[in-house]
Amino acid sequence: MVKAEMPSPLVLVHGLALALSLLFLLFLQRQKMTLFAPVKQYLVVGYSLVTCWSALNFLNLTLQSPQTAILFALVGVTAILLAIVPATFASEIIVREVKGGEGEGARTGRSIGGLTPPALAITAAVAALVFVLLAFTPFTVKGTPSGFGGVVYDPSYAWWYTVALTALAAGFIAYPCRRVFVRGSRLGPGPARTAMTLLPLSWALFAVLAVGLGLYLPRIPSASPVVGLAGAALLAASAYLFRGTNLLDRLFAPQPLPTRPPPAHAKRLSARLGLEGRAVRGHVVLLEYDPSAGYEKDVLDYVEEVGGTTLVVAQKGGPVALALAETPGLRFLLLDSDVSYPKPGERESEVLVPESNSALLLEALSKGFGESAGGASLVFAALSDMLVASGTKATYDFLKKFFGFVPGDLSALFLLVDGAHDPATVALLRSLFNTQAVHDPKGLRVVKRAR
């Protein structure tokens, strides 16, 4: 038996495309992409199926036999059809999770819940086409000279099956792709908008190339490697677009410090605390407050005095979050009992985090207050909330770990509700702070000063 000459250029190009697909798939799998955490599993599954299709296509080009063409037609095309399902599920979740569209609020959770009728129709069409393909094999295998020696065998589908595949691709572009694109275009500038507009465009382009070159121009020898490269480009686009969608990384991205001169009352809080002209900047202060004593003004004065970039950790919808909501230049980590992973808030500068997940909160703070976080300051208005949600030991351990990695000149204000916790708990927490103040009906005063 004489072995046919290998179509070296085609095999080389398609092999490169397959290698790149595997590389980008691994890169996508390793990304945190917290902004799109609910859809990551669906994207990985979908792209794994695309890579499987590409691998079988490469095998068909390499071995050049009718048997591998049949394998590609049955298993490879099944894989590419099934890839539409997780992509459709991902589009449903993205549209629900990300605010910015009309009439559909964001929902929490990783479940796809109830699919819309068009999404159900696409899923049913995929199932029907896979069943028909495997049960009735509506194709024939034909050989075509490759132009580089040897013969390339490709499946040629019955006209009615070709029409059905084309209709499915058109439906995928018209509904999931268009829906994600429209939702993304309504967002403000940022990584989320970029990902949600370019990702569906890459999906649509791949669908057009796969159908156009795979079904209507199958006899062109260079068509298969082009589609393989398109699959690699799809994975590359996704890996690139999602690299900037980690909410915590985005929240702590370097920002220029304000250049405006400080107001005349820039050290008003220090003066009210009786610090004899010494600024609160560079100190970690524990403020025990009476909720009826107007303590929000203390926080506003503190933010003005420390200047620079300030992160506010507070309960979503709480008094501090509301009091500082319109203050420019602040970034917010808002505790929310309704989320189980970081989610975008109503503003670009807000991230919602689980209320009872102190480990995640500590990870977030470590990003913003490591040794390189010069000029940053913190308002932690959730100490009492953390005690209620996590308990004394977990809160104490959280503070010990936090103070263990922050720089020694950190400016921070921690708020604790006066009289809301047992004396032993309060005494334990006080032991961690060198500067302590109280704001009760008698006024604002320092009870312990840092030396």
Q: 127-152, pLDDT tens digit by residue?
A: 999 999 999 999 998 877 665 566 77
Residue pair 75/305 in contact by the 8 Å Cβ criterion: no
Residue pair 81/115 in contact by the 8 Å Cβ criterion: no
Q: What is the mean pLDDT of residues 59-84?
A: 89
User: Which carries the bigger pLDDT value, residue 415 or residue 264?
Assistant: 415
Q: What is the mean pLDDT of residues 156-162?
A: 92
Token pair of 93, please?
């979740």
Confidence band, pLDDT 50/70/90 cuts, at residue 305: confident
Bridge partners of residue 311, in order along the sequence:
331, 378
- Can you tell me the distance from the alpha carbon of 125 to that of 8, in angstroms, rounded to the nearest whole number? 37
* Residues 370-414 pLDDT 10s: 544 556 788 999 888 888 888 889 889 989 988 887 776 778 889
With tokens 């303590």, the residue in question is: 295
Radius of gyration of the chain measured on its C-alpha atoms: 29
Bridge partners of residue 414, in order along the sequence:
286, 380
pLDDT at 1 over 50: no
**Can you list the alpha helix ranges (DSSP code H) found in 330-391?**
358-368, 383-390
pLDDT of res. 188: 64
pLDDT of res. 223: 59
Bridge partners of residue 140, in order along the sequence:
156
Residue pair 157/138 in contact by the 8 Å Cβ criterion: yes
Return the SS3 of 317: coil
Q: What is the mean pLDDT of residues 187-195?
A: 69
Q: What is the mean pLDDT of residues 309-318?
A: 86
The amino acid at 404: G
Residue of 6, 17, 84 lying closest to 224 (CA atoms): 17
pLDDT at 436 over 80: yes
pLDDT at 97 over 70: no
Q: For residues 72-91, b (16+ Cβ closer than 10 Å) or e, as one string?
A: bbbebbbbbbbbbbbbbbbb
Interior angle at CA 27, CA 22 and CA 32, nearest 5: 145
- Can you tell me the distance from the alpha carbon of 27 to that of 241, in angstroms, rounded to the nearest whole number? 12
